[in-house]
Amino acid sequence: MSGQYRDYPKHLIRKLPRYYRYLNEQKQFGKEYISSNELASLMGISPSQVRQDFNRFLYNGYHGVGYNVSAILEQITELLDLKTKKNTIIIGAGNLGQSLSNYDELKNCGFEIKAFFDINPRLAGAVINGIKVCDMEWLEEYIKAENIVAAILALPTEGTSEIARKISEYGVTMFLNFNPVFFEFERDVFIENVHIDDNLMMLSYKGAHKGAGERDDEE
């Protein structure tokens, strides 16, 4: 948002959520300043790496003291645009959709759930976790009227890609997708796929190779 961004290497951006998590944890513990050494050893990376990364685009280090935890968190928040409110709908009011609707991180990242939509017309009118369920029929109208910019795709695989396309035409540009589906859009539409299958495969691998792996740096 504010001002122009230098173009940060995608590579560094990808690391930000991890930094965010650890710094946030430290903040909860009441830590105000943290040294590259401390943070690095918590995260299982090298102090050099922390300093390089922070220096490249986060500027709150103090010689002899460390980095200001809150200030860095602020900067990451700004960079990832987490403060901007993003009106969001969940497509699919089943178990997955419901469990996501009270997932705290949504709010922390600025995604505000405005409504469920479900193919089952009988659900229309219901209220789940304080969020109303709407009939698919109202998708277009609702998206436009309520300025919906993001959608969480929590419906069965089959319908997913068709509905995503439709929704994107109504103006939604951000998608969080839980289905193993491949789509591509021409315009400025962004998809994040949650690949639980990747996690499962890695877990299977790790389990089969006990002892083989040293420390894992993916926390």
Q: Residue ranges for the binding site?
A: 92-97
Per CB under 8 A, the segment of 32-40, 47-55, 66-74, 202-210 that binds a copy of itself is: 202-210
CB closer to DNA, 72 vs 91:
72
Candidates 48, 165, 171, 196: give the one binding a copy of itself (CB under 8 A).
196
Rule CB under 8 A: say whether 1 interacts with a copy of itself.
Answer: yes
Q: Does 61 bind DNA (CB under 7 A)?
A: yes
Closest distance to DNA from the beta carbon of 50 (Å): 8
Quick one: which H or E segment has residue 131?
strand 131-135
C-alpha distances out from residue 153 to 68, 138, 219, Å = 37, 17, 26
For the sheet containing 127-128, what is the strand order? Answer: 127-128, 131-135, 111-118, 86-91, 150-153, 174-177, 190-193
Q: Which helix (H) or strand (E) holds 162?
A: helix 157-170
Closer residue to DNA, CB minimum distance, 12 or 123: 12
| C-beta closer to DNA: residue 9 or 121 | 9
- What is the closest distance, in whole angstroms, from the C-beta atom of residue 35 to DNA in the complex? 3
Residue type, 216: D
Phi, psi (rounded to 5 degrees) for 65 = -120, -50
Measured from the CB atom, the residue of 29 and 64 that comes closer to a copy of itself is: 29
Min dist. Cβ of residue 127 to a copy of itself (A): 15
18 interacts with a copy of itself by CB under 8 A: yes
Q: Is 121 a residue that touches a copy of itself (CB under 8 A)?
A: no
The residue to which tokens 């990832």 are assigned: 80
From CA 178, how far away is CA 115, in angstroms rounded?
18
Residues 6+ apart with CB under 8 A from 110: 81, 82, 83, 84, 85, 86
DSSP labels for 36-105? HHHHHHHHTS-HHHHHHHHHHH---EETTTEEEHHHHHHHHHHHHT-SS-EEEEEE--SHHHHHHHT-HH
Which one, 48 or 84, has the nearer CB to DNA?
Answer: 48
Taking contact as CB under 8 A, which single stretch among the options 46-54, 60-68, 163-171, 200-208 is the one that binds a copy of itself? 200-208
Least Å from the CB of residue 172 to a copy of itself: 10
Binding positions for a copy of itself, 100-119, rule CB under 8 A: 103, 105-106, 108-111
For binding to DNA (CB under 7 A), which residues are involved? 9, 11, 34-37, 45-49, 51-52, 54-55, 59, 61-67
